[in-house]
A and B are shown apart, each in its own frame.
Chain A
Amino acid sequence: MLKVEGLTVKYGNITAVNNISFEVPQGKIIALVGNNGAGKTTTLKTISCLLKSANGKIIFDGNDIIGQQPHKVARQGLVHIPEGRHIFPRLTVKENLTISSFSRTIKFKHFKKEMEEVFEIFPKLKERQKQLAGTLSGGEQQMLAIARGILQKPKLLTLDEPSMGLAPIIVEDVFESITRINKQGTTILLVEQNAQMALSAADFGYVMEVGEIVLNGSGASLLNDPNVKKIYLGEVD
């Protein structure tokens, strides 16, 4: 589905991501974990073409998408839910969802039907569809961001810190919907500081540190790795 090869991204002279390679196979959940400043967000933003890379290849669905415009990438089915949710606060909930139709080619009538289906999964959003999205709680906003992503009919959904700023119980809800979307056939690339949650949900994980991938393995094996435990899960022996 997605193959990143030797990707390097720079902000001016500073190298934020240094020659990383990883793969997101079809139908899987892949987690990219690491501390603040490790380059995870930069990696995702480069994949969705919001940032330009200095070097490397990003192969999505068989095509190198480097240098494309972000809206074109989105229309190909690579959907990015950015860090901090980035719902449109002064649009209503319904308008926030309607906007997903721009990356689709189906008739608006059919899109509306899909929107009704999404409302069934997220009844809270249906209740509040006429409300401005900025008035939703943090958890509801994250759900809205996910619902908006689903309506873009992603082949690959990339999520940046979906647990950020949410109460633990809401984080579980969020991860539950992520695994459900995955079971319905969407491939997922997940970036998280919350390594515990991310690695438990993921089939395979990569650990990033200052712009480089330092470890990889199945979600379970990384969870049991003594280094990961010590640094990312806060366990002390």
Chain B
Amino acid sequence: MLFQQILNGLTIGAVYALVALGYTLAYGILGLINFSHGEIYMMGAFIAFTCISIFNWNIWLSLILAVVICGLIGIVVEIVAFRSIRHGARSSQLISAIGVSIVLQNIAMLTWSSRTQPFPQIITTKIIKINDIVISNLQIYILATAVILMVTLYLLLYKSRIGIAIRATSQDPDTTSLMGINVNKIISITFAVGSVLGAAAGILMGLYYNSIVFNMGYTVGLKAFVAAILGGIGNIPGTMLGGILLGFVESISAGFISSQYKDALAFLIMIIVLLVKPTGIFGTKEVEKV
């Protein structure tokens, strides 16, 4: 029972972690809590659904198209909603993000209706049973995809020149521009990367739960935000662990207490973390040398 819940938690936690990374990337580079990020997750699932179920396109092409389009949506959102108020008040950025969220949700509702849609089952589910533990092949695919994406993100950020530019921009954008780097371009790339991860998470979740709905990004977006806060927003490895941890908490509370309390518990944990260690479990306080 416990191991089963841990496995379930790991699966869902990996998806939370992917979405949470989008929050952390946006926060790291702009100091912005991008509350519209959950909608990118929803868009990823719906675009994949449209390409596969409605247009009957090739599955791989559809999946790639879905994440690429979401990457572009991320770029457009940053340019339209955040660029002009980049140096403005935090509160106006926050309101702008919520506005984008409402707009995207409504676009989705008008395009795909407010009904719950079945997500195409592109993978035939197989169940593997070891003693009492049930593992579906889907869970393994989800975990593997999430791990591959997170490793790729890590390599991009820490082993590539673009990654250096992204990290430099998050520390000191003015000086980064003095290094010959087009900071706007780097911010666009960062939003695209975050959105690609979010869209991939949306597709994985669609596969896992079989169904998608226009407001599915809302709760997951909030949960992923909790995960990011939990691990330390702005901190990449912390965010990954925060997502996994949240997944554990949810599935264990669903298994041992009641599945109706799992959301409440997630937010309760966020409140406790904010009270006890506002920088998150893995976050550190910045000490700048003058």
CA–CA, A51 and B182, complex, Å: 16
Q: A130 within 8 Å of B by Cβ? A: no
Give chain A nearest CB distance to B276 CB in angstroms: 25
Interface of B is mostly: helix
| Contact (Cβ within 8 A) B183 A98 | no
**Chain B positions 178-223 with a Cβ under 8 Å from a chain A Cβ:** 178-183
Question: A residues engaging B (CB < 8 A)?
Answer: 48, 50, 69-71, 74-75, 79-80, 82, 84, 86, 88-91, 95, 98-104, 108, 134, 138, 141, 148, 152, 165
CA–CA, A78 and B107, complex, Å: 47
Residue in chain A with minimal CB distance to B185 = A71
| Contact (Cβ within 8 A) A88 B168 | yes
CA–CA, A12 and B179, complex, Å: 27
Residue in chain A with minimal CB distance to B288 = A89
Give chain B nearest CB distance to A67 CB in angstroms: 15
| Contact (Cβ within 8 A) A71 B183 | yes
Question: Which of A86, A98, A100, A104 is in CB contact (< 8 Å) with B172?
Answer: A86
Give chain B nearest CB distance to A162 CB in angstroms: 15
CA–CA, A165 and B179, complex, Å: 23
Q: B54 within 8 Å of A by Cβ? A: no
| 27 pairs of residues in contact across A and B, judged by CB atoms under 8 Å | A69-B177, A69-B182, A70-B178, A71-B177, A71-B180, A71-B181, A74-B177, A74-B180, A79-B178, A82-B178, A84-B290, A86-B172, A86-B175, A88-B171, A88-B175, A88-B176, A91-B168, A98-B161, A99-B164, A99-B168, A100-B179, A100-B180, A102-B165, A103-B179, A108-B161, A134-B288, A152-B180
| Contact (Cβ within 8 A) A89 B175 | no
Q: Which residues of A contact B171 (CB under 8 A)?
A: 88-91
CA–CA, A86 and B176, complex, Å: 9
Q: B167 within 8 Å of A by Cβ? A: yes
Most buried by B among A74, A86, A91, A99: A99
Most buried by B among A80, A88, A91, A141: A88
Most buried by B among A101, A102, A152: A102
Q: B115 within 8 Å of A by Cβ? A: no
| Contact (Cβ within 8 A) B167 A70 | no
| Contact (Cβ within 8 A) B289 A101 | no
| Contact (Cβ within 8 A) A102 B172 | no
| Contact (Cβ within 8 A) A99 B181 | yes
